[in-house]
Amino acid sequence: MDTRSARMNTSYKRPAETRPAQTNVFPRADTLPVGVVLMRALLAIAVAALAAIAIPGPFVSAHVRPSGVTYTREIAPLLERRCNACHGTGAIEPALDTYDRTRALAKVIRDQVLEGHMPPWPAAAGFAPLRDDPRLTPPEIDALVAWTDGGTPRGDVPAPAVGTAPTSTPHALEWSVPAGRPGSVGSERVSLDRPVEHNTWINGWAYRPSAAGNVYEAIFSVDGRRLGTWVPGQREVLFPAGVAQLIRAGASIVVERRFQKSGGRESPGGTLSLLMGAPGRQPEHRELQCGNTTLDRDAEALAVQPRAASAGDSIEVIAHFPDGAIEPLLAIARYQPTRPIDYRFAASMPLPRRTTLEVRSSSAGCAADVTLTARSKDAPGRQR
Ligand code: HEC
């Protein structure tokens, strides 16, 4: 077991879970007479009220609505799960890695999540379900709002370890990716020098940056064939079952990074891992231009990355099936060029031969990179 998961386990073991049941001397509430239950409830309220008066603290004010949501029990794990791949220690500002830093920004955080700005995800909801959709669930949003409005209490459960410490992955080929020069503008290409010695099939890949810095995109390719795009906060990419990419012996691996035009921080070095696995149908990238492209054979779409001409444009990718049905695969109301996400479908999307893919945008000059594979033989027909 690695030290990190060991720490997580111990910090979550509460006394109640380790104590044998018979040491619980109080009878359960449902076996008590009504009067006793009422008295207990009143006592609990009185204790809570006394506590509020006795320890007013800097955040107890007339506007505080206590909710019972605490930093250590709900908020720290939520931030770790949903935010700290980007806002962990040493990564994108603001760091949300300690109680004090998070509490100081509580109102900004509340507004960002209520407005749907964080986590950033330009794709509109309601179309084909996407993998790793980072949007918060309504209960998660409620918890952040309740915690802020409740006076940002710390709570007393030990906070889980935060940060995204790089660990090495078993069954992976790993390269270290060098860091870029501070203040670099535009883009930069580096080749990773250790070639693969034998033909190797991979079922996925991951890039772990040492710090997210000012890079907003890293495109990995193998022998000129695109592997995929990494954006800050992105975790492991696993291909669907039956899909694998062949890396030939001696293949060259190239990383192309794009930087924000401002910001003097050094770009991330890091580790590229190729997750070795069984052979399968290879993914293949098609660059579609604005307008219609008709497929000449049965395929499945795994992912799509649309690109509009400029920030704020809308862009959509729509499938027109041979049976006349029309299904939008992805819609972006306001394109953000600095978030070039490979939107991967939760389930690969069957596209029978003669399906037309339409890419359209509010302005001319759009494109979409679509990742396709050959249709799997035992795939069910298109679900309607
Ligand atoms: C994919 C990376 C990513 C994830 C995940 C993410 N953020 Fe951010 N966040 C950013 C970036 C980049 C910025 C800088 C501003 C921008 O680009 O919009 C930012 C800015 C912020 C800001 C500052 C906004 C301001 O106006 O000062 C807050 C607060 C914030 N994020 C909170 C959160 C919270 C809370 C979560 C999790 C629920 C979260 N973020 C998840 C990337 C991310």
At 241-292, the pLDDT tens digits run 999 999 999 999 999 988 876 555 666 678 999 999 999 999 999 999 999 9
- For residue 327, what are the domain limits? 284-374
Do 42 and 139 have their domain in common?
yes
| pLDDT category of residue 185 using cuts at 50, 70 and 90 | low
Kindly report which listed range (229-233, 242-246, 306-310, 311-315) carries the lowest average pLDDT score. Answer: 229-233
78 sits in which H/E element: helix 76-82
Q: Which atom of ligand 1 is nearest to the CA of 231?
A: 1
Residue 187 has pLDDT above 70, yes or no: yes
- Ligand 1, atom 21, residue with closest C-alpha: 94
* Domain-embedded: residue 250: yes
Distance 177 CA to ligand 1 centre (A): 25
Q: Are strands 299-307 and 326-332 parallel, antiparallel or unpaired?
A: unpaired
- Ligand 1, atom 38, residue with closest C-alpha: 83
CATH for 345: 2.60.120.230
Do 272 and 289 have their domain in common?
no
* Domain-embedded: residue 3: no
Give CA–CA dist 210/195, Å, rounded: 22
Do 246 and 290 have their domain in common?
no
Query: What is the pTM (predicted TM-score) of this model?
Result: 0.79
pLDDT of residue 9: 34
* Domain-embedded: residue 354: yes
Do 190 and 251 have their domain in common?
yes
Q: What is the mean pLDDT of the chain?
A: 81
Do 180 and 250 have their domain in common?
yes
Do 233 and 288 have their domain in common?
no
Do 226 and 288 have their domain in common?
no
* Domain-embedded: residue 326: yes
* Domain-embedded: residue 1: no
pLDDT of residue 21: 37
Do 263 and 322 have their domain in common?
no
Number of domains in the chain: 3
Structure tokens at 51: 């506590």
Which of 276, 293, 320 is where one domain is finished?
A: 276
Q: Which of 75, 92, 162 to mutate to test the pocket of ligand 1 (most atoms within 8 A of CB)?
A: 92
* Domain-embedded: residue 2: no
Distance 118 CA to ligand 1 centre (A): 5
Q: Which residue has the higher pLDDT, 64 or 38?
A: 64
* Mean pLDDT, rounded, for 182-189: 71
Q: Which of 71, 74, 87, 214 to mutate to test the pocket of ligand 1 (most atoms within 8 A of CB)?
A: 87
Distance between start and end Cα atoms, the chain: 45
| pLDDT category of residue 4 using cuts at 50, 70 and 90 | very low
* Domain-embedded: residue 20: no
Residue 330 has pLDDT above 90, yes or no: yes
Do 114 and 193 have their domain in common?
no
Do 98 and 138 have their domain in common?
yes
Kindly report which listed range (25-39, 132-146, 156-170, 205-219) carries the lowest average pLDDT score. Answer: 25-39
Which of 149, 180, 213 is where one domain is finished?
A: 149
Per-residue pLDDT tens digits for 152-184: 999 987 766 655 555 566 678 888 888 776 555
- Ligand 1, atom 22, residue with closest C-alpha: 94
Q: State CA 247 to chain mean position distance.
A: 26
Do 51 and 118 have their domain in common?
yes
Per-residue pLDDT tens digits for 90-146: 778 899 999 999 999 999 999 999 999 999 999 998 899 999 999 999 999 999 999
Which of 143, 149, 157, 195 lies closest to 173 in space, CA to CA? 195
3-state secondary structure of 34: helix
Q: Which residue has the higher pLDDT, 354 or 92?
A: 354
45 sits in which H/E element: helix 34-54
* Domain-embedded: residue 380: no
Residue 359 has pLDDT above 50, yes or no: yes
Distance 119 CA to ligand 1 centre (A): 6
- Ligand 1, atom 7, residue with closest C-alpha: 119
Kindly report which listed range (87-91, 203-207, 368-372) carries the lowest average pLDDT score. Answer: 87-91
Which of 276, 298, 313 is where one domain is finished?
A: 276
Distance 257 CA to ligand 1 centre (A): 21
Do 263 and 305 have their domain in common?
no
